[in-house]
Amino acid sequence: MNENLMDKVVSLCKRRGFIFHSSEIYGGLSNTWDYGPYGVELKNNLKRSWWKSVVYERDDVFGMDAAILMHPKVWEASGHVDNFFDLKSDCKSCKKRFKAADLKETKKCPECGGELTEARAFNLMFKTHQGAVEDAANAIYLRPETAQGMFVNFQNILDSKHPKLPFGLAQIGKAFRNEITPGNFTFRTREFEQMEIEYFVRPEEADKKLEEWIEARFNWYLNLGVRKDNLRRRPHGKDELAHYAKACTDIEYNFPFSTKGGSASGGGWSELEGIANRTDFDLRQHSQASGKDLQYFDNVTKEKFYPYIIEPSGGVDRSVLALLVDAYNEEKVKDDLRVVLKLHKDLAPVKVAVLPLLRNRPEIVELAKKLTRDLKKKMVTVYDDTGAIGKLYRRQDEVGTLYCVTVDVQSLEDKQATVRHRDTMQQERVSIDNLKNYLEEKLT
């Protein structure tokens, strides 16, 4: 484990505008984070890649965007009111709070050795009130998972799209959990974003489809360039399964910090995404609670039944963190240390930076700015003339910019610019007329 690496990534995130502490000028709200200019680009690129792979590149999954607020009965039927809680103990001396699961056999406070309170159940859902009156009748929850928005729309999808099994729904959105032990930067927070698929299948096909989704999702992370050594699949033990699941396999990443309680196996390995077989639990529960028949009718076999649901459920923030850690590289270049984020080309927040070699030469600046305007129409491009070229390169390396295009005196004559490649630092001269095509080809 390399806790030092984590400090470096957290520091880079703040220094270069990826992730800031929320409400920092007021001392910060604990374990809450804001994404800055580069962070939001990285996050959006990640979400776009997910959507492309699970919606656009398939013909059996449809997108959705359900509301965060839902009828309170949803959470009774889903089992979250009765089952979605953690057991917690407080230290009577230092007042620290612990998840009972993390304490295992320990009877004393792991921080100060003080006496612990009895473990008490603590529901993880955020409760609030809808409308002007704050009474029990108006109580409402912030959703702890996006999944339920897809289950309660099952009939709407059948009526509007008439899909045949197997088919799925995909959604990206915020979820909220009043976690007892948030921490490790954006790894466990109370407000976070999920990318979830609810894939409806015939019950007898569920085991096979579960395996297929585990493979598909594992490969998605690999295709985004995550190092193979840092990824693994881990099937859940029976005692770990959520109240709705029959089986579940986590895709885990080897984070550079101890994820006490984050994974049964401990160490840095912890969950990026869970792929579960939720059986017909949710559709049955909602049928019963709403009085609406949510069974599927098979036109060919004339059978009516509740489909099983295979659910690949990943975290946006956790994936962004894993990608940042994975992409962080330090390289010795002569007497200098080059920090470079080797992010996949689809994920890099900035694709091209245009840098004039001499900022006091108006013709060079003008040409560089014109080039920037042209490239901006096709790819995320920035212009920077605020330092010497070496410094500008380092700055772009730190945020993972793929190509730096330098305009110099010679460019005015031969109409060529120097393209520097992030990962190899190799440079080549490319005709300015052909630059857009050249870069587009590299990026696709």
Please, which residue, 179 or 298, has the CB nearer to ligand GAP? 179
Of 239, 235, 270, 237, whose CA–CA distance to 255 is shortest?
A: 270
Element (H, E) at 197: strand 191-201
Residue 385 CB, shortest distance to ligand GAP, in Å, is: 39
Is 182 or 349 the residue whose CB approaches ligand GAP more closely? 182
Residues forming a β-bridge with 430: 417
What is the nearest approach in angstroms of ligand GAP to the Cβ of residue 274?
A: 4
CB of 285 to ligand GAP, least distance (A): 14
Minimum distance of ligand GAP from residue 144's CB (angstroms): 7
Task: Indicate the residue whose CB is closest to ligand GAP.
Answer: 315
Q: Does 144 sit behind a cis peptide bond, omega within 30 degrees of 0 on the bond before it?
A: no
For residue 30 the two structure tokens come to 């604990």
Closest to ligand GAP by CB, 268 or 314: 314
Q: How far is the CB of 181 from ligand GAP (least distance, A)?
A: 10
The alpha carbon of 207 is separated from its chain's Cα centroid by a whole number of angstroms, namely 26
Evaluated on CA atoms 252, 143, 121, 247, the torsion sign reads: negative
* Structural tokens at position 201: 């299948």
- Report how far residue 285's alpha carbon sits from residue 314's, in angstroms, rounded to the nearest whole number: 24
> For the purposes of burial, counting CB atoms within 10 Å of the CB of 436, is it exposed (0-12), middle (13-18) or buried (19 or more)?
middle
Site of interaction with ligand GAP (CB under 6 A) = 145, 147, 177, 179, 188-189, 192, 194, 196, 271-274, 311, 313-315, 317-318
Which CB, 145 or 398, lies closer to ligand GAP?
145
Residue 397 Cβ, how far from ligand GAP at the closest point, in Å? 28
Closest CB 324 distance from ligand GAP, rounded Å: 14
Sequence-ordered list of residues with C-beta below 8 angstroms from that of 428, at least 6 positions apart, any chain: 418, 419
CB nearer to ligand GAP: pick between 75 and 393 = 75
Give 86 or 317: the residue with its C-beta nearer to ligand GAP: 317
- Please, are residues 316 and 339 in contact by the beta-carbon 8 Å criterion? no
Query: Residue 355's closest CA among 421, 403, 413, 423?
Result: 403
Q: Three-state DSSP class for 42?
A: helix
Nearest to 185 by CA among 395, 22, 407: 22
- Record the tokens describing residue 109, joined without a space: 């406070």
| CA 368/CA 411 separation, integer angstroms | 10
Q: How far is the CB of 323 from ligand GAP (least distance, A)?
A: 13
Give me the residue label for tokens 């910090």.
257
Whole-number minimum distance, CB 209 to ligand GAP, in Å?
A: 16
- Tell me whether residue 317 or residue 397 sits nearer to ligand GAP (CB atom): 317
For residue 189, the 8-state DSSP code is -
Element (H, E) at 11: helix 3-15
Q: Between residues 274 and 356, which has the closer beta carbon with respect to ligand GAP? A: 274
Rank residues 260 and 318 by Cβ distance to ligand GAP and give the closer one. 318
